[in-house]
């Protein structure tokens, strides 16, 4: 590195920072990602400076032209960030000075890197929220496509990871739709809390420069301006909320992944994960491993760690700005990258999964999965449910003891356990009948599931 580029501070110092202190505090190698946002923020700020009489029309034009040139360099990928500045704010200002000369020295009037970095991060996050919302629509669309593809297919529903009652496979997939739908809503609700103008807060107290904050907000497409300058520069709960939302998306992806991994075990053989989303083994030639699902599950741990991390950074900070806040960037960037890449992988994976409907049906029918239906049938005929439950429990015990398979049960067998059973009761010994009977809203009856699927298509925004 050549001679240290100019810093934003230093007048009151006899000595420059020690090399290790400079390296320790530098953030350019990660906050360079904020460059496009930092430039937008400066473009908006320049308008307020003009209105406040700090810039002449000519100076404004020079600053805006210079900033747009820097933006072009950044967006074309030609900009180098190996220039040794402390942070992205210094980098942008130095680039601008290279282009337009001393006029650049007026840009930092009435602002601090404290209100600036909070603003940059908010703009960065607004874009990532929109990216995530778009990818969630894709993932939910994949779930719906797959649910539709397996219209009418039965599966075993579980509690305690033990077969419980028959369900439709589509009903199971739609459960995930609901989770991701709530995740989308949460992100949408978070958006306005991020879209707040912090510029004009200065370092902590505001500024004596008469900046038109409403004008700056409009320039940046923000509806709200912060109400308290100290809060504006030191609050990161919008970042915590983003990471919390991301943690929930990841937690849901992780549960889905766990099921795919489990269901693809050959001993179950319920699902085939598309080859393009699996990997092989360097040693065992026969292997096909569900690595993408495992990575999504694993990265969930990393994101949850980031949530704990940022909360821990924030919990002891006195007002207002403290340099600890620089640590928010790692948490936010890492989370955004993991969230978006996980959604990008899981959306096509879920579209391509192949379910083994025969195997799934076998499991749905096995293990007395109709037992609850028989008990409810007796309850509908007037037997108190507690006694109906006991009677069907006795029937199950009798079948197991006598090695009688449910499909060979005769009416006399049923009547050993309750006189309320009749011919029609035998029809309930079927997984199809079982799902058909769950007609209440939210239930797994085919008619309900089909309607839920159609409604989900409409809701998938
Ligand atoms: N890099 C800092 C951050 O990420 C912003 C700059 C504020 N620096 C300062 N010394 N006040 O929070």
C-alpha to C-alpha distance for 394 and 244, rounded to whole angstroms = 48
Task: Give the pLDDT of residue 445.
Answer: 98
Task: Give the pLDDT of residue 215.
Answer: 98
Q: pLDDT tens-digit profile of 178-221?
A: 999 999 999 999 999 999 999 999 999 999 999 999 999 999 99
Strands (E), 185-332: 196-197, 224-225, 271-272
C-alpha to C-alpha distance for 142 and 257, rounded to whole angstroms = 14
Are the C-beta atoms of 29 and 81 separated by less than 8 Å?
yes
> What are the extents of the domains in the chain?
26-109, 114-362, 366-459
Task: Give the pLDDT of residue 1.
Answer: 45
Strands (E), 145-239: 154-159, 162-168, 196-197, 224-225
Which residue, 144, 169, 32, 167, is CA-closest to 88? 32
Q: Is the dihedral of CA 287, 290, 295, 298 positive or negative?
A: negative
Query: Which residue's CA lies nearest to atom 8 of ligand 1?
Result: 113
Helix (H) or strand (E) holding 366: none
Q: List the beta bridge partners of residue 154.
A: 168
Query: Which residue's CA lies nearest to atom 6 of ligand 1?
Result: 113
Strands (E), 219-324: 224-225, 271-272
Q: pLDDT tens-digit profile of 41-50?
A: 999 999 999 9
Residues 6+ apart with CB under 8 A from 307: 240, 243, 244, 247, 331, 335
Task: Give the pLDDT of residue 301.
Answer: 98
Closest ligand 1 atom, residue 87 Cα: 1
Instruction: Classify 73 as helix, strand or coil.
Output: helix
Percent with pLDDT over 70 in the chain: 99
- Asked if residue 177 has a cis previous peptide bond (ω within 30° of 0), the answer is no
**Helix, strand and coil in the chain, % to nearest 5:** 65, 5, 30
Question: What's the Cα-to-Cα distance from 410 to each of 377, 395, 424, rounded to whole Å?
Answer: 17, 12, 12
pLDDT beyond 90 at 3: no
CATH 3.40.50.300 is right for the domain spanning 26-109: no
> Half-sphere exposure (CA, 13 Å, Cβ side) for 128?
27
Length of the chain, in residues: 461
Are the C-beta atoms of 101 and 23 separated by less than 8 Å?
no
Task: Give the pLDDT of residue 6.
Answer: 85
Are the C-beta atoms of 272 and 360 separated by less than 8 Å?
no
Q: pLDDT tens-digit profile of 248-269?
A: 999 999 999 999 999 999 999 9
Q: What is the dihedral of CA 45, 46, 49, 50, to 10 degrees?
A: -140
DSSP assigned state of 78: -
C-alpha to C-alpha distance for 323 and 267, rounded to whole angstroms = 54
Task: Give the pLDDT of residue 163.
Answer: 95
332's torsion region: left (phi>0), alpha (psi -120 to 50) or beta?
alpha
C-alpha to C-alpha distance for 32 and 64, rounded to whole angstroms = 20
Are the C-beta atoms of 319 and 234 separated by less than 8 Å?
yes
Helix (H) or strand (E) holding 23: helix 19-25
Active-site residue set: 160, 281
Instruction: Give the strand pairing for 354-355 and 196-197.
Output: unpaired
Question: What is the pLDDT averaged over residues 225-240?
Answer: 98
Task: Quote the ligand 1 centre to 13 CA distance (angstroms).
Answer: 18
Of 9, 30, 113, the residue with max ligand 1 atoms within 8 A of its CB, to mutate for a pocket test, comes to 113
Which residue, 458, 459, 447, 460, is CA-closest to 171? 447
Q: List the beta bridge partners of residue 162.
A: 159
pLDDT beyond 50 at 394: yes
Task: Quote the ligand 1 centre to 204 CA distance (angstroms).
Answer: 12
Q: pLDDT tens-digit profile of 15-51?
A: 989 999 999 999 999 999 999 999 999 999 999 999 9
Are the C-beta atoms of 296 and 348 separated by less than 8 Å?
no
Closest ligand 1 atom, residue 325 Cα: 12
Task: Quote the ligand 1 centre to 62 CA distance (angstroms).
Answer: 27
Closest ligand 1 atom, residue 27 Cα: 1
C-alpha to C-alpha distance for 167 and 147, rounded to whole angstroms = 13
Task: Give the pLDDT of residue 2.
Answer: 45
Under the banding of pLDDT at 50, 70 and 90, the label for residue 143 is very high
Task: Give the pLDDT of residue 108.
Answer: 97
Are the C-beta atoms of 272 and 261 separated by less than 8 Å?
no
Task: Quote the ligand 1 centre to 213 CA distance (angstroms).
Answer: 22
Task: Quote the ligand 1 centre to 103 CA distance (angstroms).
Answer: 23
Query: Which residue's CA lies nearest to atom 12 of ligand 1?
Result: 326
Query: The pTM is what?
Result: 0.96
Of 35, 117, 118, 233, the residue with max ligand 1 atoms within 8 A of its CB, to mutate for a pocket test, comes to 117
For residue 162, how far is the Cα from the chain centroid? 29
- For the stretch 125-151, what's the b/e string if a residue is b when 16 or more beta carbons lie within 10 angstroms of its beta carbon? bbebbeebbebbbbbbbbbbebbeebe
C-alpha to C-alpha distance for 58 and 3, rounded to whole angstroms = 32
pLDDT beyond 80 at 327: yes
Of 87, 121, 314, the residue with max ligand 1 atoms within 8 A of its CB, to mutate for a pocket test, comes to 87
Residues with CB under 6 A from ligand 1: 27, 87, 113-114, 117, 321, 323, 325-326, 329
Q: pLDDT tens-digit profile of 107-123?
A: 999 999 999 999 999 99
CATH number of 114-362: 1.20.200.10
CATH number of 366-459: 1.10.40.30
For residue 297, how far is the Cα from the chain centroid? 13
Q: What is the mean pLDDT of the chain?
A: 97
């Amino acid at each position: 590195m050549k001679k240290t580029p100019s810093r934003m501070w230093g007048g009151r110092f006899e000595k420059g920072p020690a090399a290790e202190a400079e390296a320790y505090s530098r953030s350019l190698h990660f906050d360079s990602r904020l460059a496009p946002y930092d430039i937008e923020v400066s473009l908006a700020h320049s308008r307020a400076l003009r209105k406040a009489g700090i810039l002449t029309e000519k100076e404004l034009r020079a600053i805006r032209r210079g900033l747009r040139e820097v933006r072009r360099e950044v967006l074309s990928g030609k900009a180098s960030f190996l220039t040794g500045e402390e942070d992205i704010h210094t980098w942008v200002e130095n680039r601008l000075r290279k282009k337009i000369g001393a006029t650049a020295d007026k840009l930092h009037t009435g602002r601090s890197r404290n209100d600036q970095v909070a603003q940059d991060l908010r703009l960065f996050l607004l874009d990532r929220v929109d990216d995530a919302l778009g990818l969630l629509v894709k993932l939910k669309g994949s779930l719906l496509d797959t649910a539709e593809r397996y219209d009418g297919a039965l599966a075993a529903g579980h509690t305690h990871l033990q077969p419980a009652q028959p369900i439709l496979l589509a009903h199971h997939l739609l459960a995930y739709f609901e989770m991701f739908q709530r995740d989308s809503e949460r992100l949408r609700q978070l958006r306005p809390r991020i879209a707040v103008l912090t510029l004009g807060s200065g370092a902590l107290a505001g500024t004596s420069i008469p900046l038109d904050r409403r004008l700056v907000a409009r320039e940046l497409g923000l509806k709200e301006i912060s109400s308290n300058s100290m809060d504006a520069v030191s609050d990161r709960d919008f970042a915590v909320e983003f990471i919390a939302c991301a943690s929930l998306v990841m937690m849901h992806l992780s549960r889905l992944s766990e099921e795919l991994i489990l269901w693809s075990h050959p001993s179950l053989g319920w699902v085939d994960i598309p080859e393009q989303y699996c990997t092989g083994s360097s040693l065992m030639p026969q292997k096909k491993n569900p690595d993408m699902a495992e990575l999504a599950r694993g990265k969930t741990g990393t994101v949850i760690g980031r949530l704990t991390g940022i909360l821990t950074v924030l919990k002891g900070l006195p007002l207002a700005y403290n340099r600890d806040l620089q640590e928010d960037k790692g948490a936010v960037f890492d989370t955004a990258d993991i969230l978006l890449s996980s959604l990008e992988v899981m959306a096509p994976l879920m579209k391509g999964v192949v379910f083994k409907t025969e195997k799934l049906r076998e499991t749905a029918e096995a293990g007395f999965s109709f037992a609850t239906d028989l008990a409810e049938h007796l309850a509908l005929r007037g037997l108190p449910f507690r006694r109906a439950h006991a009677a069907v429990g006795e029937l199950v015990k009798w079948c197991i003891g006598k090695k009688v398979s449910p499909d060979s049960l005769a009416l006399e067998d049923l009547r050993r356990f309750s006189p309320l059973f009749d011919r029609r009761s035998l029809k309930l010994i079927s997984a199809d009948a079982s799902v058909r009977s769950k007609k209440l809203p939210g239930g797994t009856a085919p008619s309900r599931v089909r309607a839920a699927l159609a409604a989900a298509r409409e809701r998938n925004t």
